[in-house]
Structure 1
Amino acid sequence: MQQLTFDLSLPPRYGRDDYLVSTSNAAALAMIDRWPDWPDSVMILVGPKGAGKSHLAALWAADAQATVATADLLSGPDLPTLPTRPVLIDDADQLGSSEAQLFHLMNLVREQHSALLLTALQPPDRWGLATPDLLSRLRLAPMVRIEPPDDDLMRAVLIKLFADRQLTVDEQVVAYLLLQLDRSIDAARRVVEVLDQSALSLNRKVTRAMAAKLLEANQADEDSPLDHDL
């Protein structure tokens, strides 16, 4: 008999203690921590989806008391006042028609001796930019790369995610997930969440067999809560 369960989704934690470090992200963290002693007013943080860019950018934004800008803000009347504080633009490669506004913001940031952090999946040459001056300016900006999570980081993340949910799991569960999961912190977060809900529903502890059954179901079911991309 299954127990009645509730949706116990936990929002991502973006605190300093929640950011785990390995060789895959140590260089990026060191550069972010150098602020305000950056080599330029503009810094670009590049890395694949699920590598932890948003978490690292959030740490910087908290330390710098930065404004988090969106395409709507860049197109709005408050653009000239944005650089009075440091500015973060997450997913800068997805700004679409706001190229002119981004170029103007970069100029304002330099004029006001402020700071701008841009995150993206790829370097600026791959953003499909149509404004040559913007691309030229972005090419001059320092860029730091965060790599996909390595085994050490994925292991630490899985252990911490289980601990955050007060789940005690055997090492074989973590070892099995390491072999099966994409190198993505988002993938780790999703699988731990679903395992937690399954364990509550069945009133059982999380086991390797449960994890294997879950991942096999994910491969066979496009509507799986794991989004079929683990």
Structure 2
Amino acid sequence: MARPTQIVLPLSGPAREQSIVLGAAIEPVIRAFEDAANWPFRTAILSGPPRSGKSLLARWFAQSGMGTAIDDADMQDEAELFHAWNRAQEGGRPLLLVGPPVPAVWQITLPDLRSRLGAALPLTIGTPDDAMLSALIETHAAGRGLALEDGATTYLVPRVERSFAAVEALVAEIDRLSLERKAPARQAIWREALERLAGRGEAPEQGDLN
């Protein structure tokens, strides 16, 4: 199974180093970032499933000097967003807006803003494939200091829900069970974690990913 690479995000501040797995679901967004100067009206709107890394990607975009980013744009004052759009046109600096998690729809009430953002470039993070799911499991485990026994991804990838949030929740559950039982994260724990999460609809721990 071919594995995606990762990019370490050059984030400032006290937060621990974070990375984004580069798989087929995210690579088109990265390529679009590299061509930000050619975005229509210098504006793009980033959307994607919960916990797929939208906020981290937006911070990387801004801190790498590629343009300005506004996270949770759907929660911001629409008049301020309209001014931000105008500044992007006047200054020629690309503007990245992070919309609500898919499948939510961004309802824009200000007509002038709605018409302008309707012409923005839509960027969407897709569904992770098997290779990306495998890399996500390993990345979340490494972030927790969780040592998975050999064969973990081979066992877990076909059984876990194909989503960023589900993978994060699964690794958190494996870690919790392993710590509770003071036992290595082996197949019995992987299986129980899958069983406990099945149909539970439990949200993963929140952080700076979105």
Q: Same fold (TM over 0.5)?
A: yes
Residue matched to 1:145: 124
* Counterpart selection for 2:150 from 146, 170, 181: 170
- Separation in 1, partners of 2:60, 2:99: 16
Query: What are the residue-to-residue correspondences of 1:118-197 with 2, within 5 Å?
Result: 118-121=97-100, 126-164=105-143, 165-171=145-151, 173-197=152-176
Change in Cα spacing, 1:189 to 1:21, as seen in structure 2 (3 Å) is same
Q: Secondary structure in 1 aligned to 2:69? A: strand
Residue matched to 2:3: none
Letter in 1 for 2:49: P
| Deviation for aligned residue 1:196 | 2.0
CA RMSD of aligned residues (A): 3.0
Unmatched segments (≥5 aa) in structure 1: 1-12, 66-85
Q: Secondary structure in 2 aligned to 1:167? A: coil
Change in Cα spacing, 1:225 to 1:89, as seen in structure 2 (3 Å) is closer
Residue matched to 2:59: 58
**Conserved 8 A contact 1:33-1:60:** no
Q: Secondary structure in 1 aligned to 2:22? A: coil
Query: What are the residue-to-residue correspondences of 1:7-26 with 2, within 5 Å?
Result: 15=9, 18-26=19-27
Q: Secondary structure in 2 aligned to 1:183? A: coil
**Conserved 8 A contact 2:137-2:167:** yes
Query: What are the residue-to-residue correspondences of 1:59-74 with 2, within 5 Å?
Result: 59-64=60-65
- Separation in 2, partners of 1:87, 1:133: 20
Q: Secondary structure in 2 aligned to 1:117? A: strand
Structure with the higher fraction of residues in helix conformation: 1
TM score, norm. by length of structure 1 = 0.69
Change in Cα spacing, 1:226 to 1:147, as seen in structure 2 (3 Å) is closer
Q: Identical aligned pairs, as a percentage?
A: 28
Change in Cα spacing, 1:196 to 1:93, as seen in structure 2 (3 Å) is same
**Conserved 8 A contact 2:42-2:92:** yes
Change in Cα spacing, 1:198 to 1:225, as seen in structure 2 (3 Å) is farther
Q: Secondary structure in 2 aligned to 1:30? A: helix
- Separation in 2, partners of 1:109, 1:226: 35
| Deviation for aligned residue 1:157 | 1.2
Q: Secondary structure in 2 aligned to 1:44? A: strand
Query: What are the residue-to-residue correspondences of 1:91-106 with 2, within 5 Å?
Result: 91-95=72-76, 98-106=77-85
Q: Secondary structure in 2 aligned to 1:64? A: coil
Moved more, 112-121 or 147-156: 112-121
Change in Cα spacing, 1:221 to 1:21, as seen in structure 2 (3 Å) is closer
Change in Cα spacing, 1:195 to 1:99, as seen in structure 2 (3 Å) is same
Letter in 2 for 1:136: S
Residue matched to 1:201: 180
Letter in 2 for 1:87: T
Change in Cα spacing, 1:212 to 1:168, as seen in structure 2 (3 Å) is closer
Unmatched segments (≥5 aa) in structure 2: 1-6, 11-17, 206-210
